[in-house]
Amino acid sequence: MTHRAAVLGHPISHSKSPALHRAAYAHLGVELDYEAIDVTEEALPAFMARVREDLRQGRGWRGLSVTMPLKSGMVREVDEVRGVARSLGVVNTVAFEAPPPGEDPGTTRLVGYNTDVAGIVNALRHAGAASAPSAVVLGGGGTAAAAVAALKELGAPDAEIYVRDVSRATEAKTAAAAVGLAIRVLPLSGAAAALARADVVISTLPPRAADPLAEELAGVLAQRAGGSSARPAPARPGVLLDVAYDPWPSRIAAAWQDAGGTVVPGLEMLIYQAVEQVRHFSGLGEAMPADVIDVMCDAAGAPRRVF
């Protein structure tokens, strides 16, 4: 029987997850149909009820990838939350643990994980991010929570969190308390100077949301370079990971790259976190061959890894 998996979110038509996952399962010889399904926050409980009914009827599900704006709400829809997802209260991956042979399929357990943290850590390390970096995060939601945990793993001593509304950074604050990283939550309007001096910047804002900041940042970086962005800067910006990957390059990524900084597209994070999801959904776990990441890179138009 061919099993099902999907990426859920709203909007979702732009998602590259289907291309990544389908390439992986074809390479692995795993019969698993993977699709994108548009699900709003309000519709999530009803959708998950239908998934559970599918399981009771013997229609197989193997996994769900979860993107904005569903990562926090999914915590309430699973039977168990494991690993860093439990500390963060943010789930981006749902795996299905089948019952023992002969038991009711309705007893399948839905288990929540967070692979975004591994995706961010591996993408930044692949780009050569400094250890114990000075760090800035743009945004305070579910992906920002993963960014906070990733920065802790990278050895950052603290981080500044810049948000449009300082009263709405609950997920980032919860994550910081859970992993023990000191943070300051500040208004987005003052972020440009902080970005220019940071070793690592992680933008978790939706596509185009950082555009107003990009022009100001370009001015700060040009001033730092001696008044002209065309002249080489004495000290280049650090590493910017922009989780938004459509359109690409984003305006903030273009400003960063023009000033000589290293830019990590969100596609890199997406690939690395998807590798961890494929481990869960394929059932191969750590036995999954390492070369699967190369076919996923091919599917996304990203360079293959060099180890």
As a whole number of angstroms, the distance between CA 252 and CA 176 comes to 25
Residues 34 and 25 sit within 8 Å (Cβ to Cβ): yes
Report the pLDDT value the prediction gives residue 62, as an integer from 0 to 100: 95
| Percent of the chain whose pLDDT exceeds 70 | 95
> Which of 81-116 are b and which e, b meaning 16 or more Cβ less than 10 Å from the residue's Cβ?
beebbbbbbbbbbbbbeeeeeeeeeeebebbbbbbb
Q: What is the DSSP string of 133-198?
A: --EEEE--SHHHHHHHHHHHHTT-SEEEEEES-GGG-HHHHHHHHHHT-EEEEEEGGGHHHHHHH-
Q: Considering only CA atoms, which of 85, 138, 134 is closest in space to residue 112?
A: 85
Distance, in Å, from the CA atom of 265 to the CA atom of 246, rounded to the nearest integer, reads: 10
SS3 305: coil
Quote the CA–CA distance of 214 and 173 in Å, as a whole number. Answer: 25
Separation CA 133–CA 175 (nearest Å):
18
Q: Specify the residue for token string 């990590």.
A: 264
Confidence of residue 101 (pLDDT cuts 50, 70, 90): confident
Closest CA to 62 of 116, 13, 1: 1
User: Is-contact 203 136, C-beta < 8 A?
Assistant: no
- What is the chain's mean pLDDT, rounded? 92
DSSP β-ladder status, 80-81 and 109-113: parallel
- Residue 230: pLDDT above 50? no
Residues forming the active site: 71
pLDDT digits (tens, 9 = 90+) for 246-299: 888 999 999 999 999 999 999 999 999 999 999 999 999 999 999 999 999 999
Hey, which bits of the chain come out as E strands?
3-9, 32-38, 61-66, 80-81, 93-97, 109-113, 135-138, 158-163, 182-187, 200-203, 239-242, 262-265
What whole-number distance in Å separates Cα of residue 29 and Cα of residue 25?
6
How many other C-beta atoms are found inside a 10 Å radius of the C-beta of residue 205?
Answer: 25
What is the per-residue pLDDT for 231?
42
Read off the pLDDT of each residue in 22-34 and give the average, rounded to a whole number.
97
How far CA 115 is from CA of 41, 68, 203, in Å, comes to 20, 14, 17
pLDDT greater than 90 at residue 198: yes
74 or 103, greater pLDDT = 74
pLDDT class of 164 with cuts at 50, 70, 90: very high
Encode pLDDT of 113-160 as tens digits: 999 999 999 999 999 998 899 999 999 998 999 999 999 999 999 999
d(CA 24, CA 115): 16
